[in-house]
């Protein structure tokens, strides 16, 4: 639910004496898209391979020496296999895989995060694009962002101005960073305490699976914490009245009042229909809607409407579509 490390786009460099023919092949057969050098790092994601084509490969291929830049939505090994199988390998005189990129999620003081990483690894600091221009494939670039990693990350816009070059191979470094990622997140946040909260789901129609799936998806999309456990339980809204609830223990670096606001937003649909109760407990005390009230808004329904809109504004079109599908399934149970 809390994605802190992921890979960036892969980069292949080809030396060719038939640059136009090779470029046309990739566009025609591999659905490649041509971009300028700078725009490439705006468009390429984790599932893409960037291809640089030049008439002369050197140890460090400077951007001025790159003739064509392409993006293909395939892995490098699949692209190389296609070149062999389609008898196009004669168009390439040399090739190599360029420096790999790892993207690390952090928050707060990113300078402190960089200092901490530099204690753990021998690093060279610099602009991400300039580092890619200046070093070869013997190391890996670490880019740091405070944006959620589930969506597209622009190397140029979303990566912090200081990136790090570490002379270690990609996969061992990726494993190492995964083991240290929570430490770096805490460093950026000033080592502040995390909050353990409990969410209790109640639905009189007893469609707990749908409400749990919906809650879990939004938490994952917003990347706001980690689920520690879940179980069935009883709640007592009035003396001598027990109702069945589903309890979710949740670990988050956001204050409980913020989580309560999200839950209030999730209780409603776009038309204001309330479809579920999400109660929040912190230190065994229930947080009420008034605890999450913003200045000037003292109505539970209006708070829910406001935070429903805020939640939707942070989701991608695909995520909103998936959310609506679950909500439609919930509405079907009401008929």
- pLDDT band with cut points at 50, 70 and 90 for residue 37: confident
Q: Domain ends where: 146, 171, 188?
A: 188
User: What whole-number percentage of the chain has pLDDT above 70?
Assistant: 96
* 132 found inside a domain: yes
Same domain, 44 and 82: yes
Between 267 and 63, residue with greater pLDDT: 267
Which class for 86: exposed (0-12), middle (13-18), buried (19 or more C-beta within 10 A)? exposed
* 228 found inside a domain: yes
Domain that holds residue 66: 8-97
* 2 found inside a domain: no
Helix (H, G, I), strand (E, B) or coil at 274: strand
What separation in angstroms does the CA of 311 have from each of 65, 148, 152, 284, 324? 45, 14, 18, 26, 13
- Rounded to whole angstroms, the Cα distance separating 187 from 184 reads 5
Using DSSP bridges, classify how beta strands 241-252 and 195-202 pair: parallel, antiparallel or unpaired.
antiparallel
Same domain, 206 and 314: yes
Which pLDDT score, from 0 to 100, does residue 331 have? 92
* 1 found inside a domain: no
Same domain, 231 and 169: no
Ordered DSSP codes for 65-95: G--EEEEESS-HHHHHHHHHHTT-GGG-SEE
CATH value at residue 271: 3.30.70
Backbone angles phi, psi at 142, to 5 degrees: -105, 115
User: What whole-number percentage of the chain has pLDDT above 90?
Assistant: 64
Same domain, 111 and 91: no
Q: Domain ends where: 157, 188, 219?
A: 188
Q: Domain ends where: 138, 167, 188?
A: 188
Taking only the tens place, the pLDDT of each residue in 144-173 is 998 888 777 877 788 898 999 999 999 999
Taking only the tens place, the pLDDT of each residue in 303-312 is 999 999 999 9
Tokens of 176: 């190492």
Give Cβ neighbours of residue 60 (< 8 Å, ≥ 6 apart).
133, 134, 135, 136
Which pLDDT score, from 0 to 100, does residue 135 have? 65
Same domain, 214 and 292: yes
What separation in angstroms does the CA of 119 have from each of 34, 122, 123, 232, 284? 39, 7, 9, 45, 39
The mean pLDDT value for 56-81 works out to 89
Between 298 and 105, residue with greater pLDDT: 105
Give Cβ neighbours of residue 283 (< 8 Å, ≥ 6 apart).
none
Which pLDDT score, from 0 to 100, does residue 1 have? 65
Same domain, 144 and 257: no
Which class for 215: exposed (0-12), middle (13-18), buried (19 or more C-beta within 10 A)? buried
Tokens of 11: 């980069």
Same domain, 222 and 268: yes
Which pLDDT score, from 0 to 100, does residue 256 have? 95
Q: Tell me which residue of 310, 316, 107 sits closest to 221, measured CA to CA.
A: 316
pLDDT of 137 higher than 90: no
- Rounded to whole angstroms, the Cα distance separating 186 from 109 reads 10
Number of domains in the chain: 3
pLDDT of 136 higher than 70: no
Same domain, 126 and 180: yes
Same domain, 322 and 260: yes
Which pLDDT score, from 0 to 100, does residue 86 have? 94
pLDDT of 238 higher than 80: no
Tokens of 312: 């939707």
Same domain, 125 and 92: no
């Amino acid at each position: 639910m809390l994605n802190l490390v992921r890979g960036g786009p892969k980069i292949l460099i080809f030396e060719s004496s038939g640059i136009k023919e090779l470029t046309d092949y990739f566009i025609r057969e591999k659905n490649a898209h041509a971009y300028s050098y700078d725009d490439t790092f705006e468009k390429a994601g984790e599932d893409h391979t960037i291809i640089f084509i030049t008439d002369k490969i050197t140890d460090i291929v400077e951007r001025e020496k790159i003739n064509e830049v392409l993006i293909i939505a395939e892995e490098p090994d699949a692209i190389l296999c296609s070149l062999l199988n389609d008898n196009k390998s004669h168009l390439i005189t040399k090739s190599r895989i360029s420096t790999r990129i790892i993207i690390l999620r952090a928050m707060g003081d990113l300078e402190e995060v960089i200092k901490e990483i530099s204690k753990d690894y021998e690093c060279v600091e610099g602009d991400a694009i300039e580092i890619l221009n200046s070093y070869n494939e013997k190391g890996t670039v670490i880019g740091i962002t405070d944006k959620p990693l589930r969506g597209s990350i622009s190397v140029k816009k979303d990566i912090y101005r200081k990136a790090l070059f570490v002379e270690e191979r990609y996969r061992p470094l990726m494993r190492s960073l995964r083991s240290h990622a929570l430490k770096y997140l805490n460093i950026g946040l000033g080592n502040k305490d995390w909050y353990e909260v409990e969410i209790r789901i109640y639905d009189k129609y007893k469609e707990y699976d749908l409400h749990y799936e919906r809650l879990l998806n939004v938490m994952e999309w917003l990347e706001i914490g980690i689920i520690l456990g879940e179980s069935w339980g009883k709640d007592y809204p009035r003396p001598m009245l027990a109702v069945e609830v589903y309890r979710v223990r949740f670990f988050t670096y956001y204050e409980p009042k913020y989580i309560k606001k999200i839950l209030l937003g999730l209780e409603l649909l776009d038309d204001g229909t309330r479809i579920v109760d999400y109660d929040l407990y912190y230190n065994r005390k229930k947080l009420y809607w008034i605890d999450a009230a913003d200045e000037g808004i003292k109505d539970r329904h209006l708070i829910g409407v406001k935070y429903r809109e805020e939640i939707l504004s942070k989701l991608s079109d695909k995520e909103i579509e998936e959310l609506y599908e679950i909500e439609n399934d919930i509405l079907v149970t009401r008929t």
